[in-house]
Structure 1
Amino acid sequence: MSDTYVNIGEILHSLRVYKGLEINELADNICSVEELALIEKNKQDPTIDQLFRFAEKLNVKLGDFFDLASAGSVNYVSAVSDLIKKYKRERNYYAINEIVQREKENPLFNFPSSRQFLLWHEAICLYYLSESEQRDKEYSIQMLNEAINITNPLGKGLTEREIEIKMAVALIEKDAQNFETAITILKEILEDMDTLPGLTDSHVRLRALFGLSQSLSRIGKYEESLVYSEKGIEQCINDEVLYLLGEFLYQAGLNYENVGDLIMGREYFTKSLQVFDLQKNEILGNIVKADLENLSKL
């Protein structure tokens, strides 16, 4: 079997069952039943033409078929979850919402953890896809709390995923400029993380630290914000990751500038620019350049 189609049989089988098609119905006018049985067992690769016709009969996009097949997961549910995570990293909420709406009634997603995952992402799509003045913050947060309740009705001893959902609440509050509320939740989240034996995704803590640093700056608590910026920088260095490193350096620079330490502000802005240049992030790089130019005039 080729690496490209490592999951195609499982995905094809799951979609066929979900759509309520018998194996002979899906195979009709595409291939023999015996051939489809081999494909579903990952013992034979389908041709591109067969894949196109399968996708057409199953009413899914061929592009989604390839994305799911290359997600590196062992089954359809985890492949869909990986695809949603990929779109979330890209902030492509339209694509996430399309998948969520398609899979909501899928019996494969009836297990509590799967329903929780879809509800979590439906809530953030509802919020971020709405126009600013039409966003129903309270309803989105209610959905997120319901998602946590699926696996943890008491809301105590949160798992890593439940912490991530709780962080979505904090980030919505931050986006709505309810900074004090966001700060309270994010500090709780850091305490929640400390009760876990470890995190499978170290980025979760970095996101909490960055959200906290940003929120504290927005209410003028620059020195406290700087504490969390430095914690984020230290973790990025210890974990040997660039994720949010440029943003933490920039946030620290802003904090130093706001407390009147222009030398340190310039130093951190320069470091953040180096990271953004390395990442080819022109948008954030240009913001830092403008701040450095303004500092040079002082």
Structure 2
Amino acid sequence: MSHLSSSIGYEIKRIRREKNMTQAELSEGICSQAEISKVENGKNSPTIDWLQQVAKRLKVPLSMLFEDHLRSDMYTSYDQQLLRLLQGHQFEEACIIIDDIKNKIDYDEIKFLAMYYEIIIHEKRNFRTYLETISEFKQLLMNTSLQFKSPTLYLRIKMAIAISFIEHEKFDSAEKNFQELLQFNFDTIELKKVRIKILYNYAKQLSEQNRNQIGLEVTEQGIQESLQIEDGQLLGQLYYQRGYFKKKLNGNPSDIQRDFTMAYSLFRTFNLSVHEKILLEKNGSFVLFRV
């Protein structure tokens, strides 16, 4: 389903909830409640005629249903810019953008995004300890509108806390955070993609603890969920992870070869040269063919 369909669905859900209206009340005389649910979750593409009826029922102009699309595009653009600068250690440039967002952007979710990156940059520049960083993340999570306005960012922040605990070998705290994360209601395609990242990072924690059987099961779950929503973003890494766990557990050599070969093929397909290099250096003997 397209990004536009997802953003329209999000906006319909947001306005409906603001007006304390149920799906049944919104759908009456227009369509089934199931249809409303599918549109809100980005699973169906609505027609203009349908949107006009829904906008009339919600008592808002039709253009308002497209508001989230503009906001979402702006959010994605800033997210990509800040991530690129962070990865390139261009912290001063990132801080200029963050200040610009704080002073000029009215959308709360984009301001939350800027705060998220600012916290990370402060730790990268050694302005904060990891415990201070976690404390600031938790304060950001206390904003009551964050989970509703930007559930993906809410999950990213909680995942960042869990990963920080892993990096400092606080595995019990990391485990608690991952278990809390997996209880979230992943009711849209975008949230399901975040769930796959959570499963991937949780399995990485389990590998650090040598909990290989559970790690294998979590990785299997991540692969199945990736295939279900046809999301290849982390599929190569997940196949690599599964091969790793099977190797640790002395699994069937043919299965291990298939997983590492599949990971290699996906790394080549998506031009993930760093991942490809690591695979070949550590597990190249399991790759059945090379391009």
TM-score (norm 1): 0.62
- Partner of residue 102, structure 1: 100
Counterpart CA distance in 1 for 2:227 and 2:243 is 17
SS of the residue corresponding to residue 74 of structure 1 reads: helix
Matched, 1:256 2:246: yes
Matched, 1:126 2:122: yes
2:222 alignment partner AA: G
**Aligned partner of 1:151 among 140, 144, 159:** 144
1:279 alignment partner AA: F
Matched, 1:87 2:85: no
Listed as ranges, the gaps of 5+ residues in structure 2 are 1-67
CA deviation digits over 1:240-293, x for unaligned, max 9? 121010100111111111111261322211110111011122211121112334
Q: How has the CA–CA distance of structure 1 residues 233 and 197 changed in structure 2, closer, same or farther, with 3 Å as cutoff?
A: closer
Q: How has the CA–CA distance of structure 1 residues 103 and 232 changed in structure 2, closer, same or farther, with 3 Å as cutoff?
A: same
Q: How has the CA–CA distance of structure 1 residues 103 and 203 changed in structure 2, closer, same or farther, with 3 Å as cutoff?
A: same
Counterpart CA distance in 1 for 2:178 and 2:200 is 10
Counterpart CA distance in 2 for 1:295 and 1:174 is 29
**Aligned partner of 1:245 among 214, 227, 235:** 235
**Aligned partner of 1:181 among 173, 184, 199:** 173
Matched, 1:265 2:256: yes
Counterpart CA distance in 2 for 1:277 and 1:245 is 12
Matched, 1:163 2:155: yes
- Partner of residue 274, structure 2: 283
Counterpart CA distance in 2 for 1:295 and 1:98 is 47
- Structure 2 counterparts to residues 62-73 of structure 1, below 5 A: none
- Partner of residue 227, structure 1: 217
**Aligned partner of 2:113 among 108, 114, 117:** 117
SS of the residue corresponding to residue 182 of structure 2 reads: helix
**Aligned partner of 1:202 among 186, 192, 206:** 192
What is the number of residues matched between the two proteins?
Answer: 214
CA deviation digits over 1:190-219, x for unaligned, max 9? 1123xx543534321111000101000110
Matched, 1:172 2:164: yes
TM-score (norm 2): 0.64
How far did residue 89 of structure 1 move?
5.4
How far did residue 186 of structure 1 move?
1.2
Counterpart CA distance in 2 for 1:107 and 1:233 is 41
How far did residue 112 of structure 1 move?
4.8
How far did residue 160 of structure 1 move?
4.3
Q: How has the CA–CA distance of structure 1 residues 80 and 177 changed in structure 2, closer, same or farther, with 3 Å as cutoff?
A: farther
CA deviation digits over 1:113-141, x for unaligned, max 9? 444332222112223x336xx76111211
> Is the 8 Å Cα contact of residues 189 and 229 (structure 2) preserved in structure 1?
no
Counterpart CA distance in 2 for 1:140 and 1:120 is 10
Counterpart CA distance in 2 for 1:99 and 1:145 is 23
> Is the 8 Å Cα contact of residues 269 and 292 (structure 1) preserved in structure 2?
yes
- Partner of residue 204, structure 2: 214
Q: How has the CA–CA distance of structure 1 residues 89 and 228 changed in structure 2, closer, same or farther, with 3 Å as cutoff?
A: farther
SS of the residue corresponding to residue 274 of structure 2 reads: helix
Counterpart CA distance in 2 for 1:74 and 1:114 is 12
1:251 alignment partner AA: Q
> Is the 8 Å Cα contact of residues 246 and 271 (structure 1) preserved in structure 2?
yes
